[in-house]
Amino acid sequence: MIVLLSAVATGRQGDASPVRVVHMVAERFVFTPSEITVTEGTIVEFRIRSEDTSHGFHLAGPGDLNVEIPKRGRGDVRVKFDARPTGVYIFECSRLCGAGHDFMRGQVRVVPKPSASTPE
């Protein structure tokens, strides 16, 4: 049996950015989920697999991510996105995958952290 472990560590307690794992499926000209909302400063780890042919995943913004997603049965791809600054970041299929390719897109909405102070 093979066990894979993954961890994110920092030097001081409380310094670690929160990590959110998003399991995503690319299939028939759709990413599922296609809309994701996270708090600023979150590390988003996309774990993307295809249920049909090969696809691409391009997320425009800081880091400008662009990876190939192997076709069905050939595993998944993992990529991390540091969700900052706030805003809306568009992702799309970056590999021509068929007639509906141009519609294969989604968005990551990065919202501000809640304020620690409460109004009086």
What are the residue boundaries of the structural domains of the chain, listed by start?
A: 19-111
Could you please state the CATH topology (level 3) that the domain comprising 19-111 is classified under: Immunoglobulin-like (2.60.40)
Q: What token pair was written down for 26?
A: 């690319």
Residue 16 has what pLDDT? 81
pLDDT band at 12 (very low <50, low <70, confident <90, very high): very low
Where is average pLDDT lowest: 3-12, 47-56, 102-111? Answer: 3-12
Residues 6+ apart with CB under 8 A from 37: 108, 109, 110, 111
DSSP 48: E
The pTM (predicted TM-score) of the whole model is: 0.80
CB 90 within 8 A of CB 65: no
Give the integer Cα–Cα distance in Å for 114 and 72.
Answer: 40
Residue 107 has what pLDDT? 98
pLDDT above 50: residue 19: yes
Give the integer Cα–Cα distance in Å for 113 and 4.
Answer: 32
Residue-wise pLDDT tens digits, 39-88: 999 999 999 999 999 999 999 988 899 999 999 999 999 999 999 999 99
CA distances from 101 to 28, 37, 91 (A): 9, 24, 13
3-state DSSP percent of the chain in helix, strand and coil, to 5: 0, 45, 50
User: pLDDT over 70 for what percent of the chain?
Assistant: 84
Residue 10 has what pLDDT? 34
